[in-house]
Amino acid sequence: MRSDTMKAGPERAPHRSLLKALGFTDEELARPIIGVVNAHSEIVPGHVHLDGLAAAVKAGVRMAGGTPVEFPVIGVCDGIAMGHRGMKYSLASRELIADSVEVMAEAHPFDGLVFVTACDKIVPGMLMAAARLDLPAIVVSGGPMLPGRFRGQDVSLSKVFEAVGALAAGRITAEDLREMEEAACPGCGACAGMFTANTMNCLTEALGMALPGNGTIPAVAAARLRLAKQAGVQIVRLVERSLRPSAILTRAAFENALAVDMALGGSTNTILHLLAVAAEVGLKLSLERVNEISERTPNLCRIDPAGPHYVVDLDEAGGIPAVMMELARGGLVDTGALTVTGRSVGENLRGRTVLRRDVIRSLEDPYSPTGGLAILWGNLAPEGAVVKKSAVVPEMMVHRGPARVFDGEEEAVAAIMGGSIKPGDVVVIRYEGPRGGPGMREMLAPTSALAGMGLDREVALLTDGRFSGATRGAAIGHISPEAAQGGPLALVREGDPIAIDITRRTVDLLVDEAELAARRAAWRPPEPRVKRGYLARYARLVTSAGTGAVFRES
């Protein structure tokens, strides 16, 4: 066993002495030592209940004859960090999480790892660590929050953000907003729609790194605790078989995850994260391949914010196994890919079926014949941009309008809330990329303000930053290269015409090349916004969104 490095033989008597100071017996030390990586905290609704799930994991480990050892990692609540300086740290935390798990697992040689997680950057950070360490590993997510109820309607956090814009437009009262604030988030779990957290939890299951049900079983369900116990049992079996992430995280697994992503219409942030996890196992996922998978995969689900359903509805419909079974009917997933169950995708799908056709449509009756996400290209995004096209209304799939240019999120929000954005405009928010932000902030505030004011059907938004999975509308993010690197977004001026054609996968600045060349010659990089601390180091090391915003190797 790998853990013998710290516990076996007479020369390890001092080490055993320290382990016994923790209360471990010789019998416990003779068993496989399983690290339980717990993202529990009291600031993240998706994580507040993870102490109970970690306890269930540990019970499962003991049931299977292993010895669990729990340690923590950090986690940012994107919703609470949204719209202020705190959001600069969200994406940046992903690298810290992966690095901190590496430190703990190398300093204390565990035999296997169970990752207890839930939210946006924590799930991919843990997957990156699992891929990098290549120890037997399994992920247990905290599960989705139930939707709230507001005046007889299901609601989620995104509706509260949109209500802020509705209040500014005079469409609702302050009391309406207060009532929705009280109702929207009824308890623990990852926010109830197909936002980044729940999308990543679903894709972890599709990748084969979590047990069936991981992505959709509600946070408050007893089935979630049973799943955690099963994961604790299964990690010991994975250690016994020496079944490692390198055998699971294959190209087939990533393409399965992308197919599920397209069928679900998941968060645009998943493209960043799948690229980053793939890089840890030495795989290069190209944005061109993302579009190829989108072109062949129908959009089968419209989960909030793209439609009326929530993740709990997806669970009732059969969850990710039901989605994958439907895709498998059309040969759209590789059923031979291996998973942490120790069986193939195809074996896991036996007996699965779609239980609610209103939630998971058939291949013959999709919402769209192509996937819910699209990569756009053009002279504004020579290295690509991403849009959640399943959440774009038909009349905004093709749009042309004048640029309204803002060098940061706060300026744009002030303009939107102040009523200076007009129908037909293209809002450009730049210097918010991985380096320029720094940290590539999610910008749910401007997109929600536009939606709340009823402008999401008439105004597009472009940025080198990114959007929350709760965003809807013609919100095009991850524009690469970013403005801080001298990308074309840095050259846009107020009033420049911009053409967007999501159906053709294009986004272009309609300014002649001679003029752009003159602007490029005159452009100078801005002063760094942060000059000390982790964010300053992050800005120096991070690459573009087109490569997953991972760190440079040198």
> For residue 463, what are the contacts with CB-CB under 8 A and spacing of at least 6?
428, 429, 430, 432, 443, 475, 476, 477, 479
Answer whether 303's CB lies under 8 Å from 264's CB: yes
Q: Specify whether the CB–CB gap between 474 and 399 falls below 8 A.
A: yes
- 90, 93, 141, 468: the catalytic one is 468
Q: Rounded distance, CA 206 to CA 273, Å?
A: 14
Give me the helix-helix angle, 157-168 and 174-183, nearest 10°: 170
CA distance 160 to 448: 9
Count of CB atoms within 10 A of residue 63's CB? 13
Tokens of 54: 């970690």
CB atoms inside a 10 Å sphere around CB 350: 9
Question: Are 152 and 255 a contacting pair, CB within 8 Å?
Answer: no
Cβ contacts of 476 within 8 Å, gap of 6 or more: 376, 381, 385, 386, 387, 460, 461, 462, 463, 500, 507
**d(Cα 140, Cα 128) in Å, to the nearest integer?**
15
Q: How far apart are CA 260 and CA 387, in angstroms?
A: 16
Mapped onto helix, strand or coil, the DSSP state of residue 138 is strand
Question: Which residues lie below 8 Å from residue 442, measured CB to CB, with a gap of 6+?
Answer: 78, 82, 87, 90, 269, 465, 466, 467, 468
Q: What type of residue sits at position 333?
A: V
CA dist., res. 514 & res. 510, Å (int): 12
Compute the half-sphere exposure of residue 435: CA atoms within 13 Å on the CB side of its CA. 21
Q: 468 catalytic, yes or no?
A: yes
- Check: CB of residue 396 under 8 Å from CB of residue 311: no
Give the whole-angstrom CA distance, residue 522 versus residue 120.
Answer: 38
Instruction: Outline where DSSP puts E strands in 292-397.
Output: 374-378, 381-387
204 contacts 213 by C-beta, under 8 angstroms: no
- CA gap 373, 492 in Å, rounded: 25
What is the C-alpha R_g of the chain?
Answer: 23
Phi and psi at residue 230, to the nearest 5°: -60, -40
Q: Which of 343, 322, 208, 334 is nearest to 259 (CA)?
A: 334
Chain center to CA of 148: 22
CA distances for 548 relative to 94, 124, 380, angstroms: 11, 11, 19
Residues taking part in catalysis? 468
